[in-house]
Amino acid sequence: ALISMRQMLDHAAEFGYAVPAFNVNNLEQMRAIMLAADATDSPVIVQASAGARKYAGAPFLRHLILAAVEEFPHIPVVMHQDHGTSPAVCQRAMQLGFSSVMMDGSLRDDGKTPADYAYNVDVTRRVVEMAHACGVSVEGELGCLGSLETGAAGEEDGIGADCVLSHDQMLTDPEEAAQFVKATGVDALAIACGTSHGAYKFSRPPTGDILAIDRIKEIHARIPNTHLVMHGSSSVPQDWLAIINEYGGAIPETYGVPVEQIQEGIKHGVRKINIDTDLRLASTGAIRRFMAQHPAEFDPRKYLQESVKAMADICKDRYQAFGTAGHA
């Protein structure tokens, strides 16, 4: 059944687990996520980005998610809009039946320029007012995502690419977070704690505390009833990078957020963990390998099936690692 994010994450908080939020753009991703959730008895958050709407169109995405709900009626599903750039974008998602929206007011409505605090409060408060009137949950964002190692905002061609980070913006301020939640009434808050979007988070194998775990603790202590969200949480599996490069790919050395660091965050209030890149890598690796090993095959279902399997394996791993498994 389709449920709100507030409902799902309240349960996660009560039982001390987190829910991975996977981005969805196509049928194969949707099926992989649901097959993994079904196999592990996990609740599901699927999210559609602006890029997904551009690729598939909002109606197709909506029906893809509704089809998943219909085929797996025993699994709770949150249909979430990722990185809304304005109240109007969020309003449209609510009209389409999304049960949760993100108003990312940390950036201006170009989705690139860092916004000031007053702007962020204004747009987010307006979205909360509309959303809560119809039972829809709202995620806000405070701070600018950026890798603590490289200082980069990440994602060359995506959200926040031109974000120029000062050290202050790289970590969400706990006091400001408390004010922001009070002023807006958001259900969930995306925080900057050392992660960044895309495949190029860290240039060296991350050791020790690559995330600002102490900062997560401080924020959670100030806003214990607001669910913390970690964007840019792909782990960038080295085995899939190796497969991609073995079969003709050319991805430079790069590292993501270790699962153990995410588990540490979950102990301190992180309840929603955004993952897109890992499924892209698994999908590409599986298809490259299949194509290389079966050069005469031309039925797309054959190689797409491989990508579904590869993505479902990642989803299962995350459902288990984050404690989501068994809570559907």
Residues carrying an active site annotation:
82
Q: Which of the stretches 44-52, 86-94, 167-175, 316-324 binds ligand G3H when contact is defined by CB under 6 A?
A: 44-52
* Smallest separation, CB 190 to Na ion (Å): 7
Report 210-239 residues binding ligand 13P (CB under 6 A): 231-234
Q: Which is nearer to ligand 13P, 70 or 260 (CB)?
A: 260
- Using CB under 6 A as the binding rule, whether residue 276 contacts ligand G3H is answered as yes
8 A C-beta contact, residue 313 and residue 282 = yes
CA distance 107 to 117: 10
**Cα–Cα–Cα angle for 175, 21, 177, nearest 5°?**
5
Report 14-43 residues binding ligand 13P (CB under 6 A): 23
Helix, strand, coil percentages in the chain from 3-state DSSP, rounded to 5: 45, 15, 40
Report 81-140 residues binding ligand G3H (CB under 6 A): 82-83
Q: Binder to ligand 13P among 277, 283, 284, 307 (CB under 6 A)?
A: 277
- Using CB under 6 A as the binding rule, whether residue 283 contacts ligand 13P is answered as no
8 A C-beta contact, residue 76 and residue 44 = yes
- Strand partners for 101: 81, 138
Residue nearest to Zn ion (CB): 231
Alpha helix positions (H), 72-154: 87-96, 117-133
CA distance 164 to 215: 21
8 A C-beta contact, residue 257 and residue 222 = no
Residue nearest to ligand G3H (CB): 51
Q: Which is nearer to ligand 13P, 205 or 326 (CB)?
A: 205
Binding site for ligand G3H (CB under 6 A): 23, 49-52, 82-83, 158-159, 197, 276
Binding site for ligand 13P (CB under 6 A): 23, 82-83, 197-198, 231-234, 274-277
